[in-house]
Structure 1
């Protein structure tokens, strides 16, 4: 009962000292109080009770250990010096009183004989060393029992008998212990960063007022202004990465020099996204002062406006603005504050203390102003608006709530937030997906001036040529680094492969020459010594592996039977989603033939996907007519093709369910023609990469044997080899093709006609292809960070 009363008093005192103190801090400090102030009266109970074991500190030890701990906690919580002294004195008094009570209780229990054989709970010096070997084992007792019966503590160092030299290497032991400690710290740090998403971080969630749900993975360090003079190069050596039982990288090395822009390339399913996630979660050895931000998927929507969601992404700026608001309010309240003398304090001392506190608040406010000026906080809103405008947001959309935007636009918001934050290491996974051509060009120019480190996964060759300073090629469970953009990499890669093949063939020839000599003279007495020498040389030769053969990817769409024209026409078609809303399209005229190769371009939201849905009759026009041949088969690839697949089934099972009539071997052979080979065809679709899911979707298109292919952003998630294979397959296809894409190289390789969808109309572009269209809509201009 006494302990609970003391705990209540101490809690009140703590709340008086720091009114806004966190409850966990209060519980921790109150926890210093003993759970009981009475000693057990049962004589059979060992006198070293749990209560006494927990509080065997002397009064001097209390002053040296307990008081500094409590003082540090209260100072960090914002307590004043005088009240902190009072709390420490009160707590020390409670503990000292408890020690005195325990000592008195123990003396009463032992009859006041301090020198008796009863165990007092402390260490007692023996009068003479105890020889373990000389102990009498008779009387039915062991040495351990006889020592225990002495009733006092024993110095084992004096009873071990003769001294033996230790066989332990102390230096090696220290190294091993340090290694184990480092490994445990790394494991703890990894677990901490695993939970460093803002959506799960309580402190950051409180900082964001529980409104800012996002999927940006960030470093929890807030004050990025304090890390400017630290080295920010990243070097991870000899690491392995596995995913779902599959080895992704083995003994790989990763080097990222600060200020360089790296393009990460590799075929679909090789593990590029897995590597980015491992870096963002700090599963690799990355210095903690380097901030990392990974844009992986679209952000969640809420009532926050678009521009506000971008501004809130800079957590440190938000923290400083809150600090400024709080300090200004504190300064205003101190202007009218009167000195309040505490117990035993004069009015002059109280006035002096109040003045010192005012100076402290003003100093903190000045420091906050300096940091806000350092990060150019006053320019933040204009910079955020410029980024959003570059990514295609209109001025009237900046104040719209994020929940009002579609998934593609939320992805752009995530990208805008990442660019606004300026982390030390920015990780982007296919950032050009969901972007139109003007936004891709703007992003190229913006990232070309990126001041810190960039690691981007992309399969757009034009984009990598404009952005990347280095190319990182992931293949065969390793990473190869090439200097230069993608065009330089492509030439260097072929030259490096030829050099490796020459080295491999030269070593094979040398090995064969040595082996022939050994086989010929090994058992000849005169040449045996030379043969043995050749054997040693052969054993010392490095083992070279033959360069891996490049996997050739091929797509093939079956040629349909010919149809007599007209095949597919749109005459004066108009469409709006409701009679009251403005029309999306009006006056559209287009004539599709079996040999048509048409690419539709234009800004996002102009109606390109709507026009494709009118072609395939997913939507019905409000005006005009869409005419289709009676035997026409159309296969439609949507940019959200994943929504059409059953992710719980394997590709083989999905095709058997959707397109029945064939056996498993035929389905597997058909999927194999689109790169879904081996056991991949039997995995669940949800475990496949984005590119592999796209290949499954293309296999589903081909099995329909269509006359016309309607493709909406077909190159999203496909690797470069797959894009080349798709380009060649569409060239060889005898049917018609109409596509929407932002990939300049893909459009240039497939399309023979370019149609522009903009401002509700669809018109044929009369210029010289996609390059001229790109120059017209994206004139060279300055893009500032």
Structure 2
């Protein structure tokens, strides 16, 4: 349905009859262009959909305009437009918003709701905070008393500093099928464990599309995308409730158990980078010559270290009369499995390889027992009461509590990189302050798509400015190799691991080999102890 068609349908449903020309002129006044007006409404970004909702309200010529978080999804230019509209509008506006700067520019009175009572204060938000110091967190994020804590991301093989790239994208582009030009093009960037990145840009510029490609929601149509084989990425979507909308009859504990009970994240199973397409199937027809026979890979099961990369255990179908009319492929026995290097296998079986990589990444993430006590402790790091976690269905939780559940669930697998799409849209002021402090303390990388300079000004060092499908990065410190800086702890310092029942897994570590000088010193100490009459055992290490 077109934008103008949808608008006419909504207006007729409330008894408003206008010509297409009248509707179009109003939408033009709201800075929509002809392509957006006549195009599909599904093609509008979140910001433009919000602006369309505001335009629809104006058509009704209300005496009182009720606005619930009107700046959500709006870029800086459109927020300024909304401010000007409300200041000059003849109707009364009642606004619920967490955007302190917007409120300070627009409101003339503040109605404070506290302890089931309403009290009105004359003046702007800043004047209200002076009169009610306990409400300082409404105006300054740093004043929040709430605390969140993200889990430690854990060890990544081969990553010895926070500067080393764990994601690298080169000349990447993406174009939706049926569109006349790419939504994003010629994108180059990299992320590390030390990254703190703000993604900014006007509505419809391609910010969410860029991040969807990064997280695997979409497959790029061009360019190269590298991710560390063991990386774990948490993605909190722009519409955060989309994560739990189909599970409202479960408790938070039951939802986390359902989501991760297979050892994988069920919420990511329908991502584009996991769905096998016709092109993938065609590539998987590649024939490998192994031990004098022609084979096709039909399964990828495990991996092991091979030189500076990995090789993968594959099962096969054996080809007979290949290339002839009576060509036949017969599945082979498990005993016939063979190992193929990653560089050879990735071109034909990329998604199978990625599936094994993800399972290994989860295994390397210190497997967490999906038991009630562990889930309650994890959720407590996001301010969720134990009683709510195990005994309250999510349908009965407030919006703020549901968002905390989403944050807890998305970070369950100890991610190395957290991607937040418009977090200021779904978090209140106290929660935003808590999230800000949690990001500062987090040991992994963070990417934030936002229009809120207030939220990112003290958090991010790097900025990706997206305009018309292209990106300009600033403030970055991209390096080749490990880069400078302090070394991270090695795998010998990894956190404790547990099995599915919560039992500690004792690691089998090789003892460090002593140097010649250390061996001589140890022998000398042993001889001195024997001379003093102390008991010395013959099986002591040399």
- TM-score scaled to structure 2, two decimals? 0.59
Which residue number in structure 1 is paired with residue 251 of structure 2?
Answer: 650
Structure number having the greater strand percentage: 2
Alignment counterpart, residue 659 of structure 1, candidates 235, 252, 260: 260
Give 1:743 deviation, angstroms: 1.9
Q: How does 1:156-235 map onto structure 2 within 5 Å?
A: none
Which residue number in structure 1 is paired with residue 5 of structure 2?
Answer: 305
CA contact (8 A) 2:2 2:38 kept: no
Which residue number in structure 1 is paired with residue 148 of structure 2?
Answer: 555
Which residue number in structure 1 is paired with residue 222 of structure 2?
Answer: 623
Change (3 A) 1:613 1:317: closer
CA contact (8 A) 2:36 2:44 kept: no
Q: How does 1:513-532 map onto structure 2 within 5 Å?
A: none
Partner of 1:742, secondary structure, is: coil
Cα deviation code 1:578-601 (max 9, x no counterpart): 386311121111011211111111
Which residue number in structure 2 is paired with residue 432 of structure 1?
Answer: 71
CA contact (8 A) 1:310 1:413 kept: no
Cα deviation code 1:323-374 (max 9, x no counterpart): xxxxxxxxxxxxxxxxxxxxxxxxxxxxxxxxxxxxxxxxxxxxxxxxxxxx
Give 1:696 deviation, angstroms: 1.0
CA distance in 2, matches of 1:496, 1:596: 32
Q: RMSD of the alignment, in Å?
A: 3.2
CA contact (8 A) 1:586 1:761 kept: yes
CA contact (8 A) 2:47 2:203 kept: no
Give 1:637 deviation, angstroms: 0.8
Give 1:306 deviation, angstroms: 5.8
Which residue number in structure 2 is paired with residue 613 of structure 1?
Answer: 212
Alignment counterpart, residue 756 of structure 1, candidates 465, 468, 475: 465
CA distance in 2, matches of 1:678, 1:643: 23
Change (3 A) 1:729 1:766: closer
CA distance in 1, matches of 2:183, 2:421: 18
Which residue number in structure 2 is paired with residue 570 of structure 1?
Answer: 169
Which residue number in structure 1 is paired with residue 191 of structure 2?
Answer: 592
Give 1:556 deviation, angstroms: 0.7
Give 1:432 deviation, angstroms: 1.6
Partner of 1:694, secondary structure, is: helix
Give 1:435 deviation, angstroms: 2.1
Alignment counterpart, residue 428 of structure 2, candidates 716, 719, 744: 719
* Structure of higher CA gyration radius: 1
Which has the higher relative contact order, 1 or 2, with Cα contacts under 8 A spaced 6 or more apart?
2
Alignment counterpart, residue 381 of structure 2, candidates 670, 673, 692: 673
CA contact (8 A) 1:304 1:401 kept: no
Which residue number in structure 1 is paired with residue 505 of structure 2?
Answer: none
CA distance in 1, matches of 2:221, 2:23: 45
CA contact (8 A) 2:196 2:462 kept: yes
CA contact (8 A) 2:197 2:464 kept: yes
CA contact (8 A) 1:430 1:717 kept: no
Give 1:705 deviation, angstroms: 1.0
CA contact (8 A) 2:48 2:204 kept: no
Change (3 A) 1:744 1:447: farther
CA contact (8 A) 2:154 2:414 kept: no
Cα deviation code 1:202-258 (max 9, x no counterpart): xxxxxxxxxxxxxxxxxxxxxxxxxxxxxxxxxxxxxxxxxxxxxxxxxxxxxxxxx
Change (3 A) 1:303 1:617: closer
CA distance in 2, matches of 1:430, 1:680: 26
Cα deviation code 1:79-115 (max 9, x no counterpart): xxxxxxxxxxxxxxxxxxxxxxxxxxxxxxxxxxxxx
Residue 454 in structure 1 maps to residue 454 in structure 2 = no
Unpaired runs of 5+ residues, structure 2, are 137-142, 262-368, 477-542
Unpaired runs of 5+ residues, structure 1, are 1-300, 322-377, 498-549, 768-785
Count of residue correspondences: 354
Structure number having the greater helix percentage: 1
Give 1:437 deviation, angstroms: 2.7
Change (3 A) 1:383 1:314: farther
Give 1:551 deviation, angstroms: 8.6
Cα deviation code 1:474-493 (max 9, x no counterpart): 22222232222222222221
Cα deviation code 1:135-173 (max 9, x no counterpart): xxxxxxxxxxxxxxxxxxxxxxxxxxxxxxxxxxxxxxx
